[in-house]
Structure 1
Amino acid sequence: MHLAQHSATLAHRGLKLSHLRLLAALAETGQIGQAADRMSIAQPAASRLLAEVERIVGAPVHLRTGRGMVLTPVGEALALRAQRIQTELRDAARDIAEVAAGETGHVRIGSVTGPAIGRVLPALREVCLHAPRISAEVKIAGSEQLCEQLLAGNLDFAIGRLPEGPSRALFDITPIATEPVSLVVRSSHPLISKPKLLPADLSAYDWVMPPPAAILTRTVLERLRAHGLPSPKQVLATDSFLMIFALLQHSDSIAPLARTVAECFASAADAPYRALAIDLGIEVAAFGLITRTGAILPPVAARFAAEIHAQPKGTL
């Protein structure tokens, strides 16, 4: 009889976890009474389990001695397997507990750029510090793309804003914070050394912003109009931060960027970029944590979501 067939026969004949637990305890104690105590059962019940094992296996699994009992080679083989199974079960229980507590697993997060730097990155650092068995992937994109990915099941949740139109009903959102905007230029820009910077001074320069439909662009233009300023010249429209920073470095362009982004790339003394010393009060509408309507986050995703909420505004 093949080994696989014999294993199937043991299961079909009724070999149970309680039988294996008894054999493991006997291997460790050599006493039926002590084995029964470990299992929290009476000794007669342990003796019945032992007799059942021998009936199922079809061979003796123990021999009595003057000091107690010893396992036969058949009993030792079963006991070794039983100990391994118990170890695996303990490991499984620990894994289940860690999953339930959000201490292990994989999370897929989508975010617009500002919150990705100001909230998702610090949350990732904090969670992984205390739960190193967690892994994460973060997709950076515009809110509409993130919502599409969320509906497709490619993300657990997103940090952004709801799309316009009827598709908004497909999502739940928990608001987190508004997004202040800074005006960023290269460190040697002419406006950096200007003693008193006025809003009108900004009109002499080209601005680089996302395409016209983007919420950042619309917010900037509305705020400029509120200051009585014309729409700025815009030679390049892009939502690529690589392109934006490359253009800033090689021109006198001005880029409106989320303040968390500006603080990350333009605050160090030797940074190649600077935030202009002027505040036009540009603040993009609140972003939030977006999920599919009625969705329940897995424990690891829920842990990340809570940590993102808990991040102080502007944390880096």
Structure 2
Amino acid sequence: MDTTNPNWFLKARLKTRQLLLLIALDDFRNIHRAAEELHMTQPAASKQVKDLEEMLGVKLFERLPRGMEPTLYGETMIRHARMALTSLALAHDDIATLKAGLSGQVEVGVIMTPAMSLLPRAIARVKQEAPLLRIGVQLETSNVLLDKLQRGTLDFMIGRIVDGGSAAAGLIYEELTEEPACAVVRPGHPLLDHPAPTLADIAGRPWILPPHGSILRYRFDMMFRRAGLAPPANVVDTTAMLVITALLQQTDSLHVMPRQVAQYYESLNVMRILPIDLPCTMDAFGIVRQQDHLLSPGAELLLHAVRASAQEIY
């Protein structure tokens, strides 16, 4: 049998029962117990293994006095048998979900900027088509979300792959848009009357900033250093929006944040964007998912809605 042909298993008429037998032999390492588990006779089980070995042209098991041990070829075939049967089980679950009107569960992770408009728009679109679909949203930094994604607790995320190399292994990234930053202040702040504030005008002011170690804080500090200025020293470090908005209301502090987030809060009359173009941007963000993770119909629906909403917004 030519196993280099991608459809060799069709010509060989590979049976699901043979895949189940491989898994049972791996679990029990004994032909008698494996046959009993599948309600087969031992001769029938032996023949199926022999037929499979002849079909592949390799030895799948070593016959030992007290049982059977998979060879390297056997271990490979067993691993793929488990994957194939798992995929079939997921297919059954997906069909049941579709029949039930997409009533499954989707878990998506998101960073702040796409959480303001992109994801809500996508969820609203999905809920029109599948009102029973349960959607869980986790708002975290990209590093936290990447860890959750790789541990399998998220279907996909909208954020950044912060580090390359091992952090990006096995991931698919679809870039959506860049993320410019801006400075914000409370309504009525004295700087809003300034015709054209410069970096020198804002360097010595009190600031509310993301903590050291964050990408935005590093780029914010470097922005001043490149201009020959010392970064602000009068600083409160926090990312908690309740604290940030309260401090902005009660003090003359400034805060740096993604422009799209700032526009949302400006529309609520909570803060104002300072009329200065900051040479400070975050990396682009996008959709991140696991390469080998098969999405459920509900997760696929939300993913398509995110893409469509991104085209409208960005």
TM-score computed with the length of structure 1 as normaliser: 0.63
Unaligned runs of at least 5 residues, structure 2: 1-91
Question: What is the aligned residue count?
Answer: 221
Decide whether the 8 Å contact of 2:101 with 2:132 is kept in 1: no
| Structure 2 match to 1:27 | none
* 2:195 is the alignment partner of 1:195: yes
Task: State the distance in 2 between where 1:102 and 1:167 align.
Answer: 36
Identity of aligned residues (%): 33
CA deviations 1:118-170 (Å, max 9, x no partner) are: 31111111211232122211111111111111122221111111142523214
Decide whether the 8 Å contact of 1:109 with 1:136 is kept in 2: yes
| Structure 2 match to 1:257 | 257
> What RMSD over aligned residues (CA atoms) do the two structures have, in Å?
2.7
* 2:125 is the alignment partner of 1:126: yes
Unaligned runs of at least 5 residues, structure 1: 1-92
> What one-letter code is carried by the residue in structure 1 that aligns with 2:220?
V
Q: 1:225 to 1:313 in 2, by over 3 A?
A: farther
Task: State the distance in 1 between where 2:161 and 2:264 align.
Answer: 26
> What one-letter code is carried by the residue in structure 1 that aligns with 2:156?
F
Task: State the distance in 1 between where 2:99 and 2:228 align.
Answer: 55
| Structure 2 match to 1:232 | 232
What's the offset of the Cα at 1:112?
0.7
Decide whether the 8 Å contact of 1:118 with 1:314 is kept in 2: no
What's the offset of the Cα at 1:222?
2.8
| Structure 2 match to 1:107 | 106
CA deviations 1:11-39 (Å, max 9, x no partner) are: xxxxxxxxxxxxxxxxxxxxxxxxxxxxx
Decide whether the 8 Å contact of 1:102 with 1:303 is kept in 2: no
- Of structures 1 and 2, the larger Rg is shown by 1
Q: 1:176 to 1:234 in 2, by over 3 A?
A: farther
Task: State the distance in 2 between where 1:259 and 1:295 align.
Answer: 33
Decide whether the 8 Å contact of 1:104 with 1:133 is kept in 2: yes
Task: State the distance in 2 between where 1:217 and 1:296 align.
Answer: 36
Q: Give the 5 Å matches for 1:84-99.
A: 96=95, 99=98
Q: Give the 5 Å matches for 1:1-316.
A: 96=95, 99=98, 103-164=102-163, 166-268=166-268, 271-312=269-310, 315=313
What's the offset of the Cα at 1:312?
4.3
Task: State the distance in 1 between where 2:312 and 2:236 align.
Answer: 28
TM-score computed with the length of structure 2 as normaliser: 0.63
Task: State the distance in 2 between where 1:109 and 1:281 align.
Answer: 31
Decide whether the 8 Å contact of 1:122 with 1:315 is kept in 2: no
SS in 2 for 1:297: coil
State which drifts further: 241-250 or 159-168: 159-168
Q: 1:287 to 1:160 in 2, by over 3 A?
A: same
Task: State the distance in 1 between where 2:200 and 2:99 align.
Answer: 56
Decide whether the 8 Å contact of 1:112 with 1:141 is kept in 2: yes
> What one-letter code is carried by the residue in structure 2 that aligns with 1:111?
V
What's the offset of the Cα at 1:111?
0.7
Q: 1:153 to 1:234 in 2, by over 3 A?
A: farther
What's the offset of the Cα at 1:258?
1.2
Decide whether the 8 Å contact of 2:149 with 2:157 is kept in 1: yes
Q: 1:102 to 1:163 in 2, by over 3 A?
A: farther
